[in-house]
Structure 1
Amino acid sequence: MSRQIILDTETTGLSAVDGDRLIELGCVEMVNRKLTGNNLHLYFNAGRDSHPDALRVHGITTEFLADKPRFETKIDEIWEYLQGAELIIHNAPFDLGFLNNELKLAKRPPLTQCISGVIDTLVMAKEMYPGKRNSLDSLCDRLGVDNSGRTLHGALLDAELLADVYINLTRGQDALIVAEEPSEAEAAGAITIPSVDLSTFKLQVVRANEQELQAHADVLTQLDKSSGGKTVWRQLEA
């Protein structure tokens, strides 16, 4: 079973090193590339105000968080939920940095001791679309993912959007998954695929005519000339 967790966070600012804290965690579970609905969504009282720039992004006020639990009281629940999963995160160093900082403050081990690995969709997108904008909104537009409800950043909403983005980014893997997982009918033996002995087939060989051979020779001559006689064509012929 392939279990992946698409994860996103919201924070009081941009730097855990400078004292910014985690205030929201959103997780979406996907098993064998299918969303299960077994999601995790938590808010945390960070004990400090959000930076004005961060507040404009997520809109999560200190007043709203006043009655929310501290992160350390939810570590066991988070740890159990993430146990053994592969995480899918957009710009993973940012979210992992804040999560590991919260764990460190609570004197708990880093997240690497809980999960099986991490996929960074920002790195993936940069490789697939070099030179283009690869923010979550840009990828939604490019891949046809509806993000019209995203007026403010929210960890759970962004994780749900990222799940759709990731599925679209890796769409070519579907065929492999279908091949690996037979249908119920196939598993029950109702459908059989006959084997084919390819040795019984005779393949027709179509040889080049004189005109085609001459055209091929002319191309090789041009290549040999343009390279200053450094090609190996003539050596192979000899």
Structure 2
Amino acid sequence: DTADTAKDTNLHPHIHITTATLEQHGPRQLILDTETTGFYYQDGDRIIEVGAIEMINRKLTGSSIHIYINPEKPVGDSVQVHGITDEFLVDKPKYAEIAHTLFEYLQGAEIIAHNANFDMNFLNMEFQRVGLPALSEVCGVVDTLALAKSKHPGQKNSLDALVRRYEIPARDRTFHGALLDAEILSDVYLAMTGGQVSFDMDALSHNDQQTDTSIRRVQLNVTLPVISPSEEENQAHENWVQQYQEKHGEPCLFAK
């Protein structure tokens, strides 16, 4: 239970961290999304929600973090996007109260976000406000919007558009929620970077040094032996066909 976890580790009760249920070893990737009071971190807009889910070796581990945050200002018209009201946020922690726990969870991972500059600019600003380093100094970043634009130039590449293009199972997105969008983005990221297995051994050797998620088609020339049935097998087949036709009253597809 995430509430019990928060109490047991002396976290703020509104910090919800789940522990991994799938043991994986390798670099951590965190699919992340934020909700904010507006678009402009330079003009005083603040983060009101953070959600991130952990992925290692292209598998979701079950570990996640989710926090609602009191922005210390009205949410204004942004409520029409995320549906999070001032009344809901009034008892939530301020960023300074959750910053160290959030920073500890995120640092060292590769952050995957859609239009990552938006999320990273806000997170950098919020962490630096409380005297911590910018998140971009301790994390790598993958922008799935930039990745989508390179794969699908000239097309719509919003998260909703990618969900339709890659036929990701639909979820109710009446409002955008940070953890929900992170879960959707994990499906989109895996679909965009999946590729296919190659039978080109030279390419596979090269991939040991350089990741390549493109699809390759390799023609294999293989001569397969032809094994003819014996007289006994032919007779058994004929008997089976005759029994089928007598039972069903219609010609058998496999009759000679």
- TM-score norm. by structure 1 comes to 0.71
Could you tell me how far 1:173 is from its partner in structure 2?
Answer: 6.5
Alpha carbons 2:124, 2:136 under 8 Å: kept: no
Change (3 A) 1:174 1:164: farther
Alpha carbons 2:120, 2:136 under 8 Å: kept: no
In structure 2, the partner of 1:4 is: 29
Secondary structure at the aligned position of 2:41 is classed as coil
Secondary structure at the aligned position of 2:31 is classed as strand
Query: Do structure 1's residue 124 and structure 2's residue 143 form an aligned pair?
Result: no
- In 2: Cα distance, 1:173 partner to 1:166 partner: 15
Secondary structure at the aligned position of 1:102 is classed as helix
> After the TM superposition, which of the residue ranges 142-151 and 125-134 deviates more from structure 2?
142-151
Query: Do structure 1's residue 112 and structure 2's residue 112 form an aligned pair?
Result: no
- In 2: Cα distance, 1:5 partner to 1:165 partner: 14
- In 2: Cα distance, 1:35 partner to 1:121 partner: 17
- In 1: Cα distance, 2:151 partner to 2:186 partner: 17
- The structure 2 residue matched to 1:81, chosen from 102, 105, 108, is 105
- TM-score norm. by structure 2 comes to 0.66
Sequence identity percentage = 52
Query: Do structure 1's residue 102 and structure 2's residue 126 form an aligned pair?
Result: yes
- Where has structure 1 moved over 3 Å in runs of 4 or more? 173-176
- In 2: Cα distance, 1:172 partner to 1:133 partner: 21
- The structure 1 residue matched to 2:177, chosen from 147, 154, 159, is 154
In structure 2, the partner of 1:56 is: 80
- In 1: Cα distance, 2:91 partner to 2:52 partner: 21
- In 1: Cα distance, 2:197 partner to 2:100 partner: 34
Alpha carbons 1:137, 1:147 under 8 Å: kept: no
Q: Deviations over 1:66-92 (max 9, x none)?
A: 111111111111111112110101001
Task: Give the CA RMSD over aligned residues.
Answer: 1.6
- The structure 2 residue matched to 1:165, chosen from 188, 207, 224, is 188
- In 2: Cα distance, 1:156 partner to 1:135 partner: 17
Q: Which runs of 5+ in 1 are unaligned?
A: 181-238
Alpha carbons 2:107, 2:135 under 8 Å: kept: no
Alpha carbons 1:71, 1:102 under 8 Å: kept: yes
In structure 2, the partner of 1:40 is: 65
- In 2: Cα distance, 1:42 partner to 1:66 partner: 14
- In 1: Cα distance, 2:98 partner to 2:196 partner: 35
Q: Deviations over 1:131-167 (max 9, x none)?
A: 1000000000000112331111000000000000000
Q: How many pairs were matched up?
A: 176
Alpha carbons 2:36, 2:49 under 8 Å: kept: yes
Q: Deviations over 1:154-199 (max 9, x none)?
A: 00000000000000000117777xx98xxxxxxxxxxxxxxxxxxx
Which has the larger helix fraction? 1
- In 2: Cα distance, 1:2 partner to 1:17 partner: 32
In structure 1, the partner of 2:228 is: none
Alpha carbons 1:22, 1:46 under 8 Å: kept: yes
Relative CO higher for 1 or 2, CA cutoff 8 Å, sep ≥ 6?
A: 1
In structure 2, the partner of 1:210 is: none
Could you tell me how far 1:107 is from its partner in structure 2?
Answer: 2.0
